[in-house]
Amino acid sequence: MTARPPVPSRDEAGQQATADLLLVNANVLTMDPARPRARSVAIAGGRILAVDPARGDHRARDVADLGGATVLPGFHDAHNHMAWFGLTLSEADLRPAAAGTLAELYAAVTRQAAATAAGDWVIGAGYDHSKLGAHPDRDGLDQAAPGRRVWVRHTSGHMCVVSSAVLADLGLTDSAADVAGGMVVTDATGRPTGLMQEKAQELVTALVHPYPISVLAGAIERAGAQYLSEGITSVTEAGIGGGWIGHTPVELAAYQAARDAGRLHVRVELMIASDALHPLAAHPDDGLELGLDLGIRTGFGDDWLRIGAMKIFTDGSLIGRTAAMHDDYAGPPGNRGYLQADAAQLAATILAAHRSGWQVAAHAIGDRAIDLVLDAYAQAQQRYPRADTRHRIEHFAVSRPDQVHRAAQLGLIAVPQGRFVTELGDGMLAAAGPERHGWLYRQRSLLAEGLILPGSSDRPVVAGAPLLGVHDMVNRRAASGTPFNPGEAITAEQALRAYTSGSAYASHAEQAKGTIAPGQLADLVVLAEDPTAVSPASIAGIGVLATLTDGKCRFDVTGGGQLP
């Protein structure tokens, strides 16, 4: 992010500065420790000019009386998949709420097939086998949409199921192939069931990729419109350009195209999938081993579109029981998950990216994967010391106390998803078993160790509205009502800080956003109620009245383009 420009005030300029907009009669939660609460905010040139200006300090072209509504910095989802989410908006909705049984899932596939041109792929997303009792399979998909290429994605994104027509394209009709870091799952007779885990999904995506830029730009626009309605003004997109997570090698171009056409509604920081990086032919003394062409790396871009961390997957999913653990998952013995690549190779990629100046965001769910990442970050710092790297561990799902302590000592950022607790909590508890319950999706112990906690959803893995996230971070209950590692609950104030200043810090952007203070971008959300003042059970129900970026109203609940 760019540094704060100087803000002219009456004191410095010797005369009154003119505000474009003055918000008054507001309950402002600034997230700025220097002045946590305020009643009014002056905005000029898309930035905060003053907080609680004295009467007469600023002339204002426009004054909005918010009638006591609550104002916060715009929410920042620190880990989401924006294009993927936008695409799911036009695919069959297979989330548990829409397809609660396998029969309902197959019926949804049949409807999607009828609405999809012959020859085009029939795609659905969001199923959760732990709620359905089983994964769908090729035979069911073949029956639901005879002869069609059907691709249904698990809600975690870490696995998918395809129909026989797709398996035929891949030459996997009768027998599986070995895939490093993934699995083509077979039944007892060795026949593929259609289920593809982790990196085996790349076999499928190779058939549908690359997506055209125009399709992705449309998805980015649809996602952004929904984000604004939920108070989101910034997102970190957790992996583009490669691996099973990207949609095309030119994915950045889709975001640029959306922006050029005025279709990029929120600020986006793009993580680059590690597979998209390649060796650079730089001078050996440059230490630029791994990157994008021209040496582009973390930090390139501006306040609206910017390159963030390198995203690397070290393991898989907890509910899918593919994440790499030191000990067996609960249930049938012998399964400890697996790493997505050879351990030494993963560590070498992290080291090379660190040396080349990248912030690194490593997906690590199981305690074994977390140890690998902690070791790699420690070694990277030891061999090539760099200040203020803010390397991240995405999810940090099953962590021992000593791992939390070590993450703090290494100056890392753990990025857990509060929302997983509700939507995936029952499946996670079943997978981890009671001995590891206290290690799951920590928050409070991260803060206690001095870590900065960002707020994130991993949307479309789960629903991503930030107030839902804040609700879950406070309430910590699985969908069944079972308390989920309740000792890790935090306050609404702490959860709001996560979704604002915490996420900004994780993006090296706290000098530009995440707090309401002079000089910060005027990205704001207006809420009907104060999440810190209502009962914890009613946080999710709080309405978003308006969302501003650059000091301008981009969403309002009445649709009139005016602040309430």
* Closer Cβ to Zn ion, 77 or 458, answer by number: 458
Q: Name the amino acid, one letter, at 204.
A: V
* Closer Cβ to Zn ion, 132 or 361, answer by number: 361
Question: Applying CB under 5 A, does 371 fall inside the site for Zn ion?
Answer: no
Min CB(84)–Zn ion separation in Å: 9
* Closer Cβ to Zn ion, 195 or 238, answer by number: 238
Min CB(87)–Zn ion separation in Å: 14
* Closer Cβ to Zn ion, 219 or 544, answer by number: 219
Question: Applying CB under 5 A, does 82 fall inside the site for Zn ion?
Answer: no
Min CB(457)–Zn ion separation in Å: 9
Question: Applying CB under 5 A, does 365 fall inside the site for Zn ion?
Answer: no
Question: Applying CB under 5 A, does 323 fall inside the site for Zn ion?
Answer: no
Could you tell me the CA-to-CA distances from 35 to 31, 51, 238, 547 in Å, in that order? 8, 9, 32, 22
Contacts of 304 by beta carbon, 8 Å cutoff, 6+ apart: 259, 264, 267, 268
Span interacting with Zn ion, options 36-44, 95-103, 218-226, 456-464, rule CB under 5 A = 456-464
* Closer Cβ to Zn ion, 82 or 553, answer by number: 82
CA 162/CA 145 separation, integer angstroms: 11
* Closer Cβ to Zn ion, 137 or 458, answer by number: 458
Min CB(387)–Zn ion separation in Å: 28
Question: Applying CB under 5 A, does 458 fall inside the site for Zn ion?
Answer: yes
* Residue 82 and residue 37 in contact, taking contact as beta carbons nearer than 8 Å: no
Structure-token match 């609206």, residue found: 304
Min CB(15)–Zn ion separation in Å: 50
* Closer Cβ to Zn ion, 32 or 472, answer by number: 472
Site string for Zn ion, 489-528 (x = CB under 5 A): ----------------------------------------
* Residue 377 and residue 412 in contact, taking contact as beta carbons nearer than 8 Å: yes
* Closer Cβ to Zn ion, 20 or 458, answer by number: 458
Min CB(424)–Zn ion separation in Å: 13
**For every residue of 282-329, which 3-state class applies, written as one string?**
CCHHHCCCEECHHHCCCCCECCCEEEEEEEEECCCCCCCCCCCCCCCC
Greatest CA span in the chain, whole angstroms? 83
* Residue 308 and residue 263 in contact, taking contact as beta carbons nearer than 8 Å: no
Site string for Zn ion, 248-267 (x = CB under 5 A): --------------------
Rounded (5°) CA angle 245-415-454: 120
Span interacting with Zn ion, options 110-118, 235-243, 279-287, 398-406, rule CB under 5 A = 235-243
How many residues bind Zn ion (CB under 5 A)? The answer is: 2
Structure-token match 């350009």, residue found: 241
Start-to-end C-alpha separation, the chain: 30
* Residue 92 and residue 53 in contact, taking contact as beta carbons nearer than 8 Å: no
Count CA atoms within 13 Å of residue 239 on its CB side.
21
Min CB(229)–Zn ion separation in Å: 22
* Residue 353 and residue 453 in contact, taking contact as beta carbons nearer than 8 Å: no
* Closer Cβ to Zn ion, 238 or 429, answer by number: 238
* Residue 91 and residue 80 in contact, taking contact as beta carbons nearer than 8 Å: no
* Residue 13 and residue 525 in contact, taking contact as beta carbons nearer than 8 Å: no
Span interacting with Zn ion, options 148-156, 238-246, 423-431, 539-547, rule CB under 5 A = 238-246
Q: At what angle do helices 213-229 and 251-260 cross, to 10 degrees?
A: 60
Question: Applying CB under 5 A, does 270 fall inside the site for Zn ion?
Answer: no
Question: Applying CB under 5 A, does 238 fall inside the site for Zn ion?
Answer: yes
Min CB(114)–Zn ion separation in Å: 31
Query: Which residues of the shown chain bind Zn ion in the complex (CB under 5 A)?
Result: 238, 458
